[in-house]
Structure 1
Amino acid sequence: MKFLLFAFLALATLTNCAVKNRTFSATEVAILPKPMSMDVNEASFALQEGQAIFSNLDEQQSAAKDLQNYIGTKTKFNFDVSNDKQAAIVFEKKEGLDAEAYELSVTPKKIIISASSKAGYFYGVQTLKQLLSIEISKDTQKTSYLIPSVNIQDNPRFTWRAFMLDESRYFHGEAFVKQMLDQMALLKMNTLHWHLIDDAGWRIEIKKYPLLTKVGAFRSDSEIGTWKSGKTSGKPHGGFYTQEQIKDIVAYATARNINIVPEFEIPGHSSAAIAAYTWLGTAGVAIDVPVKFGRLYDNYDVTKPEVITFIKDVLSEIFELFPSEVIHIGGDEVGYEVWENSKSVQKYMKEHNINTPADLQIDFTNKISNYIESNGRRMMGWNEILGKNIHSDFAEKKADKEAETELAKNVIVHFWKGDIKLLTDAAKKGYGIVNSLHDRTYLDYSHESISLEKAYNFNPIPKDLEQQYHKNIYGLGCQMWSEWTPTNKDVERQVFPRIAAYAEVGWTASENKNYDSFKIALKKMQDHWDTLGINSFKDAK
């Protein structure tokens, strides 16, 4: 009888050891975005009820809480954050690592996440989540979950890894924005470029100018189908974020190591504001918020002192809501005809020795840049703010003269269109650059025109740019313009899975990238999106 009992216990022990020491294949351990360096080792760590997380520094607490919540939600285990250094999962300070870098060591006995800052700890946790999801995706009722034994050293290629959401054309709402922030965080993207103001709607409460949302946030109808289709939805559309909602979303993003860069479009794409306050415009004509999308050509009259005061007032409230160092001012697709036809604007230009509308735009832009800098921030704008004519394909702009005035030096140039030489020249002059070339990064483009593989192969650094200027390329943004995506599900279908490709472009060194490996890691991410009900495009190639 004793022999049988001993044999049973021995078998149980062997079975338990076998479960706790499975070795995972490299394919199973695919992480997205791909780490700088990863070794997959023998055996595994068993995550179980009753274990704990050790963190003793303030900069570790956000990541520790995120991991605790994830484990509790996914496994139903009660995992405490404790001061016991013998805990199963340990956050460890490691001086000398870059701000977003981390190291992750998983052995059968312990998990150690090492970093030098809040961001690094957070990204270590995002990688650990993906490792844990291998087992959780198969069974959420187990008493033990295995995590592969790995050694990972990781650090991003670029400091600017952005997703842009256009909410002027269609208002998508707080829950959707938070969903996007969650998925960005898992993909280690660190910037939400929030396009809240354009012709089609003003989406942010400005207390000093209440008509911006009372009038400017609502339109009577919406063009549908495509440009100049002649068709409309027959339904009014509108919505905006209160300042309290903005603060809540900013805090939500900050907890996920995401900086929100607001965009306040000036001096063009200003119809919603002019619909609210006619005196802001150059034409002096009362208008409604436009039903049609596209390029509309009344602009802010930047020669009026009261308009400059308005812009500074709006910026002052934006400064209070967004801690971002960078403030985006748009500056794209400004139609000059209304300025050319204005006697008062022409008089101002003559008096101030301003030769062309392009020079007037840069003169105005530089003044706003100075104001933004005086408030401890930095201005960013689409690459038209350099004064070059990039719109030879637009009938109404192809004859525009280029500016002679130089753009203020501390401005970040957001490159989206034009000869790539414009980007390289700007980088050589010392401008910071974010590369969002439209035919490589615009998520409103079809999956046929920008395939998943084409998105993945985008390199933000032009091949002809000398090494010494590479530091001026801060990274990339992928843009979700929303003219033809009225529902959140429509947006999801355009964004997913291509956002994952852009995440890896931004994070992973080009020599470490491999599209086949990416597709393996993407399969797990697709499964995750499916569990959330995200309408990811499934035929991506």
Structure 2
Amino acid sequence: MKKLFFCLITLFMAAQTTHAQTYALLPKPTHLEAQKGTYTLPATPTIAVQSADPEVRRIAQVLADQMAKATGSTPAITGGKSSKGILFADAKGKKLGPEGYTLTVSPKQIIISAEQPQGFFYGVQSLMQLMPAAIFSSTKVSGVAWTVPACTIDDTPRYGYRGSMLDAGRYFYPVAFIKKYIDLLARHKMNTFHWHLTEDQGWHIEIKKYPKLTEVSSVRKKSMAGHYKDHAYDNKPHGGFYTQDEVRDVVKYAQERFVTIIPEIEMPGHSVAVLAAYPELGSNPDKILEVSTNWGVHDDVLFPREETFTFLENVLTEVMALFPSQYIHIGGDECPKTQWKQSRFCQALMKEKGLKDEHELQSYFIQRIDKFVTSKGRRIIGWDEILEGGLSPNATVMSWRGISGGIAAARQNHDVIMSPTTYCYLDYYQADPKTQPVTIGGFLPIEKVYSFNPSVTDSLTAEQSKHVLGVQGNVWSEYLPTTHSVEYMAYPRLIALAETGWTPQDARNFDDFSKRLEIHKKRLDYLNVNYFGAPINNTFQYVWPKETAKK
């Protein structure tokens, strides 16, 4: 009897492993039911598009183009219904929502159904993950059995906001990499790219009204090398900026992949680069500043003068013309109040406005910006410091210093995006620091990332919980000087957060995720992603340049 029992257990475990390997979808669908058999791609595949929406046909063309690259056989795209091949079927009235889809694979046919183009796009991502990993190749792969396991999938996301922030303020990354980063988000059904564009160490977006932002503020003389405590520098100028034409191109590229780009323009802190070009916006118009070469928090901040608000409104007007997103991120974090406390102007302004302290002065600053952005039909997002001194009426809070800021904001009926350091800061170490490239510190292995539950239902009422819009993973770049190093820190941890944002909480299991991830890594290899543990970085150990010198 014991032998029989152990045999059954062994067979059950083997079946579970096979299931994970056959249906290694990331993020895990809301509901997947395995069926018998497989669908084999014919020598001349067809994709029939039932929808009259040209966007749906474009998505079908994207699938056809990728199939042609990998298989060497170009699918024909037709209209109407089809009893075989791949069918894009309308699902109007089925209440799948804008991002939901169904995917049915039988030995005879594949059907993707959705109400909106975005749903079809996500259905295509799942279909490609059901195919052999070689489907992600940019060139023809021979000797592959192009089959798809039979199944039925009903899939809708847990949260409407599923995003990642990339800090392109401290290190400037080329447009080609920004597009690749967006591609990877889309492939994992993430729908928001938070583009951090300005910092103390660099202003990296063209503003035509203020040319010195690119002439002066976009380049620093050198960068820190090694840990902050080492006070070592590489003695190499670093900088660059995205032209407005490049920004428009990236925004369009993201839209085609159903990724919304939220720009971030930091204020009132993290603005030394601005003050290097326009010192009159700070504590003293005669103070000479340079674009910062040190990481960390700086006392030099923007002052709440009318000239400053005029500057910021002009900047944001150009930014909003480039980015059609509902949200504009205005930072608001880590703003020291030292200079404000010492300033007769600031103290007089506080008295005039009836503000009891410098935190309320920052709130006044943010509320001025909030009012302007709202007048343009947009909304602001700020880091959770914008709660201090009173929250702006229309602000959404990005909770990073734990989840308490998010809870407080939701209790005030403000929308919240959960992004706490303890689960979502992907610049932290992911393994023993002795074996890893130098980074900012902390320790955040993938299992900890995966364990995050953004809902905090035990702290909020059902109505308040509706204000938790979703989750975001942040990639800060103080110690990520190359695109190679960004991918190394972001992946695969960002995939764990993608599943956190998409998959129902009760359907998530780390062991199951790990099995699917091992299969998924083959796809990342074809996509040339330098993820943690990837074959292309077995000897990866970032070494700071030889010319590194002590200050």
TM-score strictly above 0.5? yes
The 5 Å alignment of 1:323-472 reads 323-387=324-388, 403=389, 406-418=390-402, 420-448=403-431, 449-462=443-456, 463-472=458-467
Report what 1:295 is aligned to.
297
Is residue 331–residue 381 contact of structure 2 (8 Å, CA) maintained in 1?
yes
The 5 Å alignment of 1:63-462 reads 63-86=59-82, 88-94=85-91, 95=93, 96-134=95-133, 136=135, 140-142=141-143, 145-284=146-285, 285-302=287-304, 304-387=305-388, 403=389, 406-418=390-402, 420-448=403-431, 449-462=443-456
- Give 1:45's aligned amino acid: Y
Is residue 194–residue 262 contact of structure 2 (8 Å, CA) maintained in 1?
yes
Match of 2:525 among 521, 530, 535: 530
**C-alpha spacing 1:136/1:368, structure 2 compared with 1 (3 Å):** closer
Q: Deviations over 1:466-510 (max 9, x none)?
A: 333221111111100000111111111111110110110011011
Q: Deviations over 1:165-211 (max 9, x none)?
A: 00111111111111111111110000001000110100100001011
Q: Which moved more, 1:486-495 or 1:129-138?
A: 129-138
Report what 1:473 is aligned to.
468
SS at match of 2:331: coil
Is residue 132–residue 146 contact of structure 2 (8 Å, CA) maintained in 1?
no
- Give 2:41's aligned amino acid: L
Shift of 1:140: 2.4
SS at match of 2:126: helix
Gaps of 5+ in 2: 1-17, 432-442, 535-551
Q: Deviations over 1:121-144 (max 9, x none)?
A: 110000001011357589922586
Report what 1:47 is aligned to.
41
Shift of 1:532: 3.3
Q: In the aligned structure 1, how far is the partner of 2:117 from the partner of 2:230?
A: 49
- Give 2:295's aligned amino acid: F
Report what 2:503 is aligned to.
508
SS at match of 1:468: helix
Is residue 443–residue 495 contact of structure 1 (8 Å, CA) maintained in 2?
yes
**C-alpha spacing 1:143/1:526, structure 2 compared with 1 (3 Å):** closer
- Give 2:352's aligned amino acid: E
Root-mean-square deviation over aligned CA pairs: 1.8
- Give 1:411's aligned amino acid: A
Shift of 1:259: 0.3
- Give 1:115's aligned amino acid: A
Is residue 32–residue 504 contact of structure 1 (8 Å, CA) maintained in 2?
yes
SS at match of 1:323: coil
- Give 1:120's aligned amino acid: G
Report what 1:30 is aligned to.
24
Aligned residues: 498
**C-alpha spacing 1:413/1:137, structure 2 compared with 1 (3 Å):** closer
4+ runs of 1 displaced by more than 4 Å? 134-139
Is residue 283–residue 342 contact of structure 1 (8 Å, CA) maintained in 2?
no
Q: In the aligned structure 2, how far is the partner of 1:453 from the partner of 1:244?
A: 40
SS at match of 1:234: coil
TM-score (norm 2): 0.87
Shift of 1:50: 2.1
Q: In the aligned structure 1, how far is the partner of 2:491 from the partner of 2:485?
A: 10
Is residue 133–residue 522 contact of structure 2 (8 Å, CA) maintained in 1?
no
Q: Deviations over 1:51-101 (max 9, x none)?
A: 221223224123212211211111111112211422611111212211111
Is residue 409–residue 430 contact of structure 1 (8 Å, CA) maintained in 2?
no
SS at match of 1:265: strand
Q: In the aligned structure 2, how far is the partner of 1:188 from the partner of 1:158?
A: 11
Is residue 497–residue 536 contact of structure 1 (8 Å, CA) maintained in 2?
yes
SS at match of 2:128: helix
Task: Answer yes or no: is 1:482 the counterpart of 2:470.
Answer: no
Q: In the aligned structure 1, how far is the partner of 2:455 from the partner of 2:31?
A: 22
Is residue 49–residue 78 contact of structure 1 (8 Å, CA) maintained in 2?
no
Is residue 65–residue 74 contact of structure 2 (8 Å, CA) maintained in 1?
no
**C-alpha spacing 1:143/1:35, structure 2 compared with 1 (3 Å):** closer
Q: Deviations over 1:337-387 (max 9, x none)?
A: 111111122222222222211111111111211111111111100000011
Percent of residue pairs identical: 38
